[in-house]
Chain A
């Protein structure tokens, strides 16, 4: 590891001198130069028994004149005095003063000969020399990487490169631990800020991670992502315009064995009937896959309407939607509360988007009429449990269908994982799966019998990998699953998150079952506060207004209040990463996926 002297040499010349300081904020007087908010500085210090480097980010700059009392006077003179000039001094008269926050300090441990990063609990020395981290100098980046090693992560998904001012330090990649996928992640940014590129980079990272785990000796957990793609861009990315190919391009480079082990049966789901290549599938779920809770999670229902829908589901189970839409609910109804025709009609109206002909997603289900179970849901669930990245083209689906698909997948997976946790034997697991989907034959409850049977069948043939011989795998052996919820305010707003929403449970308990939600939104303010508090990782990109920035700061798991000004000037592809898995928030430049691909020579 480099010594304090070696690191200082790599950073020279000195940029400024520390003036005032507290444990959280520093004032530095520095040479006049082209500076930017977010510039990164290092302050070598020998105050304690071990050498330290304080890491400091500029949040505010001001032009000052060396010793000149009032800049205003000088400006007035310049304006009003005839033929005035501004003499050039050898000793620099025009200086800059910068304020900023201490991210923390790295302390050298002589025994392990390494630098460990600490939160800013200690003060730097008086009048400490200040060195600027110049992005164009690789050696400066190397120094930062060494000092911040514990915060940058040496394994996981590369989110981007640490920003120093406006430019990234290309030798300082910032990684998100793969475990973060099983926690909830918020991705907030206004339109055009680079969210799609970020998700593309993350998907690429997950595929890379899974490829790294491929092999008999590797015990790392795979990761799965279920990513709704409302613009159908992740599959081919910019290939049609001469740019990089998307997930298609990546999986095409896989060997046959890798395709079998890491991609099959599909990576791309679409609402289109005509498929363009292998490992693609027509996305479809069945009415039998949908419960009242799924609909309550995506639509406004009154208490009466919810009660009616649940009673209908209790009576008819997986056929409840078909019965209602067919107007066939009267004759077989068991004793129970009567519902007003208006309530029934209202629920029927809300289910209107699933009527035959109105939906490309939801297939009819009525075995008595010869309409068998047609759904990709069991295979989707199996794929996610095998460590797959699934992108779902929803361009041909309606908004409600998109939300419904997300909800059904999330809820079903959550139910399966709960069953796995409860089971201690294969038979118990089968029983728990059946119960998890509401089927209770002794009590005459049909529930989602067909879906449960499909899953149990896949459990038996190994497609649902919960069994290791006669042993039920524990959750820690299953892949980390991340479900991206695009346009999250539509399903994760306070009104929708009342009791009954499947996301209410997942947001609170998903983590312990290894299921994380990816909350993607242009607005932070519209997201339910209960969900926001459960976000372990927050990725904040350029936001539309001050309210959103304030809320983003409030919601972040790490304190990012000092980044308020930086949030205002975030450029396209720049973000602030704060995660409970790290001590400090870090500003990052996400690599352009097109360039990422070309840099790899693909």
Chain B
């Protein structure tokens, strides 16, 4: 060990203080009696589902190497996403069905020049989605949710946020999310009516409350919702963490409601403070449900965590907002979560994740491929020397 930070008295004292603060916060965040009663009331059970006649369920996920290569002020980002589509099957539980959606792979070259960067990023978005940026913006209902009225596509396009080339966190987030939603969009276009298409994450629209600037994937997310409505496909975003205040012991609530020691197979629709008059989310907390969405908390199996499912609010209004429809939806999700590889989590998302994720070896190989191609095109190999590695920082 080169440092003694674990042993320093000051460090240990700081950790102790922090822990006390966390514990105090937990106590303060405990729900009121009313809220607790509301939550108990809201929790609904559904049955363990071992048969699901005609269910078709798809999943998407994405990853990448952000960046895969850096040289000078230029960065090359590699983005990967995958979509899968399965049909309920008596023999295999779920059987994958052929779809036109294959893995999407995109390389994006961004430099310090703003014009090049914007053009390159938007080109990548277009290639991933198969639609022009304008078509996605124009086809989505994002502007309606924002309340900005009539759209000037060019203005919205110009106002899209393009991070600096070196801002790997934000560039990576945009590329990965766009790639995931692009795969979802293709699945929605490909899947039969009534199919469920799930992405990994939420339906949050971070900039929807602003009057100008937006992120491309916000438009794309809503474009997916529009396309799903048109095709009568259930489009949802499933997050493995529910994001509720830690003081709310949802397990206790479910235990009281269902009378089980380890409650499972339940869901709870998160109320909207405006519509329902109550919400477990603090008033100064994140906007849950997100604009244009309905949020459920659910638990499929006792060994998997409580998850969050966001659905398009308009589609929900039209087709899901009844107890029996909710039951049907969650039973289908339960059935889709009975694969041995990820019991309690819908397998199509896991399958997509497996196909999209890159191992360390694959990342290294990808980098070599990019560098080899660049050298083949006339660039010098020394240009790509990893500075961190060369100086012992990696």
CB <8 Å contact, B354 and A86: no
Binds B, one of A63-71, A309-317, A339-347: A63-71
Establish whether residues B340 and A85, one from each chain, have CB atoms under 8 Å apart when the complex forms: yes
CA A85 to CA B361, docked complex, whole Å: 30
| Contact yes or no, B93 A85, CB < 8 A | yes
B232 at the binding interface (Cβ < 8 Å): no
A91 near B355: Cβ-Cβ < 8 Å = yes
CA distance A84 to B334 in the complex (A): 11
Do A87 and B343 contact each other (CB < 8 Å), given the known contacts A67-B355, A127-B365?
no
Residues in chain A near residue B86, CB distance under 8 A: 87
Q: Which residue of B lies closest to A71 (CB)?
A: B341
Given contacts A66-B354, A67-B354, A67-B355, contact A85 B94 (CB under 8 A): yes
B19 touches A (CB below 8 Å): no
Closest beta carbon of chain A to B268's beta carbon, Å = 23
- Counting CB contacts under 8 A, is B169 at the interface? no
Asked if residues A88 and B94 are in contact (CB atoms below 8 Å), the reply is yes
Contact A89 B96 (CB under 8 A): yes
CB-based contact B339/A85 at 8 Å: yes
Residue pair A68, B354 in contact (C-beta under 8 Å): yes
Q: Does B315 contact A (CB under 8 A)?
A: no
Say whether, besides A68-B354, A87-B347, A81 and B338 are in contact (CB < 8 Å): yes
Indicate if B208 sits at the interface (CB-CB under 8 A).
no
Task: Tell me, yes or no, whether A371 is within 8 Å of chain B by CB.
Answer: no
Q: Complex formed: what's the CA distance from A22 to B392 in Å?
A: 26
B98 touches A87 (CB 8 A): no
B365 near A83 with CB under 8 A, answer no
Task: Answer whether A85 and B341 are a contact pair too, CB < 8 Å, given A67-B354, A90-B98.
Answer: no
Complex alpha-carbon distance, A45 and B96, angstroms: 34
- B354 and A85 within 8 A (CB): no
Residue among B48, B351, B357 making CB contact with A87, cutoff 8 Å? B351
Provide the bound-state CA to CA distance between A263 and B157, in Å. Answer: 98
**Within 8 Å CB of A260, what residues of B?**
none
Which residues of chain A from 46 to 92 have a CB within 8 Å of any chain B CB? Answer: 65-68, 73-75, 77-78, 81-91
Of B96, B98, B338, which contacts A88 at CB under 8 A?
Answer: B96
- The residue in chain A whose Cβ has the minimal distance to the Cβ of B92 is A88
From residue A465, how far is it (CB to closest CB) to chain B in Å? Answer: 67
Question: Which one of A65, A67, A85, A126 lies within 8 Å of B365 (CB-CB)?
Answer: A126
Interface residues of A in 506-561 (CB under 8 A from B): none
Chain B residues with CB below 8 A from A88, complex form: 89, 91-92, 94-96
Question: What is the number of contacts between chain A and chain B, taking CB atoms within 8 Å?
Answer: 69
Among B81-99, those with CB < 8 Å from A are 84, 86, 89, 91-98
List the A residue with the shortest CB-CB distance to B359: A67
Q: Are B98 and A86 in contact (CB under 8 A)?
A: no
On chain A, which size bracket covers the interface? 20 to 34
Q: Is the CB of B365 within 8 A of A74?
A: no
* Binary flags per residue of B25-47, CB closer than 8 Å to A gives 1, else 0: 00000000000000000000000
- A126 to B: closest C-beta gap in Å: 7
Nearest CB to that of B89 among chain A residues? Answer: A88
A123 → chain B closest CB, angstroms: 15
Of the candidates B97, B343, B347, B368, the one whose C-beta lies within 8 Å of that of A81 is: B343
Q: Within the assembled complex, what's the spacing in Å between the Cα atoms of A88 and B93?
A: 8
Bound Cα distance A82, B93 (Å) = 13
Using a CB-CB cutoff of 8 Å, which residues 49-100 of chain B contact chain A? 50, 84, 86, 89, 91-98
Question: Which of the residues B84, B341, B357 comes within 8 Å of A74, measured between beta carbons?
Answer: B341
Q: Complex formed: what's the CA distance from A88 to B96 in Å?
A: 6
Q: State how many angstroms separate the Cβ of A124 from the closest Cβ of chain B.
A: 15
Known: A90-B96, A126-B365. A84 touches B339 (CB 8 A): yes
Does B96 lie within 8 Å of A86, measured CB to CB? no
When each residue 309-344 of chain B gets 1 if its CB lies under 8 Å from chain A and 0 otherwise, what string results?
A: 000000000000000000000000000001111010
Q: In the complex, are the beta carbons of B343 and A84 less than 8 A apart?
A: yes
Contact A77 B343 (CB under 8 A): yes
Among residues 336 to 377 in chain B, which have CB atoms less than 8 Å away from a CB atom of chain A?
338-341, 343, 347, 351, 354-355, 357, 361, 365, 368
A87 contacts B355, C-beta separation under 8 Å: no
CA A46 to CA B355, docked complex, whole Å: 29
Contact in complex: A82, B351 (CB < 8 Å): no
Q: Report the separation of the CA atoms of residues A90 and B84 in the bound assembly, to the nearest whole angstrom.
A: 9
Closest CB in chain A relative to B136 CB, distance in Å: 28
Q: How far is the CA of A547 from the CA of B50 in the complex (A)?
A: 54
Give, as a whole number of angstroms, the nearest-CB distance from A462 to chain B: 74
In contact, B50 and A83 (Cβ under 8 angstroms): yes
Question: Whose C-beta in chain B lies nearest to the C-beta of A65?
Answer: B341
Is A82 a contact partner of B48 (Cβ separation < 8 A)?
A: yes
Judging by beta carbons under 8 Å apart, are B94 and A81 in contact?
A: no
Contact: A77 with B340, CB < 8 Å? yes
Residues of B within 8 A of A66 (CB): 354
The answer on a CB contact under 8 Å between B96 and A87 is yes
B355 touches A83 (CB 8 A): no
Q: A86 and B92: CB pair below 8 A?
A: yes
Return B356 CB to nearest CB of chain A, in Å.
10
CA distance in complex: A422, B86 (Å) = 85
**Whose C-beta in chain B lies nearest to the C-beta of A87?**
B94
Contact B365 A86 (CB under 8 A): no
Given A67-B357, A83-B48; A89-B341 close (CB under 8 Å):
no
Contact A89 B351 (CB under 8 A): yes
Q: Which residues of B contact A67 (CB under 8 A)?
A: 354-355, 357
- CB-CB under 8 A from A84, the residues of chain B are 93, 338-340, 343
- With contact pairs A74-B340, A77-B341, A91-B355 given, residues A85 and B48 touching in the complex (Cβ less than 8 Å): no
Q: List the A residue with the shortest CB-CB distance to B82.
A: A91
- Is the Cβ of A85 less than 8 Å from the Cβ of B355? no
Residues of B within 8 A of A81 (CB): 301, 338, 340, 343
- Per the bound structure, the CA–CA distance linking A82 and B303 in Å amounts to 12
Minimum CB–CB distance for A509 against chain B, Å: 55
A65–B341 Cα distance when bound, in Å, is: 9
B93 and A87 contact, CB distance less than 8 A: yes
Most buried by B among A19, A67, A74, A127: A67
Task: Give Cα A19–Cα B364 distance, bound, in whole angstroms.
Answer: 13
Contacts of B355 in A (CB 8 A): 67, 91
Q: Please give 10 more A-B residue pairs, beta carbons under 8 A apart, in addition to A66-B354, A86-B340.
A: A81-B301, A81-B343, A83-B48, A84-B93, A84-B340, A84-B343, A88-B94, A89-B351, A90-B97, A93-B354
Residues of A within 8 A of B (CB): 19, 65-68, 73-75, 77-78, 81-91, 93, 126-127
Which 7 pairs, one residue from A and one from B, show the smallest C-beta to C-beta distance? A85-B93, A67-B354, A87-B94, A88-B92, A83-B50, A81-B343, A90-B96
Task: Give 17 CB contacts A-B under 8 Å.
Answer: A67-B354, A68-B354, A74-B340, A75-B340, A78-B340, A83-B48, A84-B338, A86-B92, A87-B94, A87-B95, A88-B89, A88-B96, A90-B96, A91-B96, A93-B341, A93-B354, A126-B368
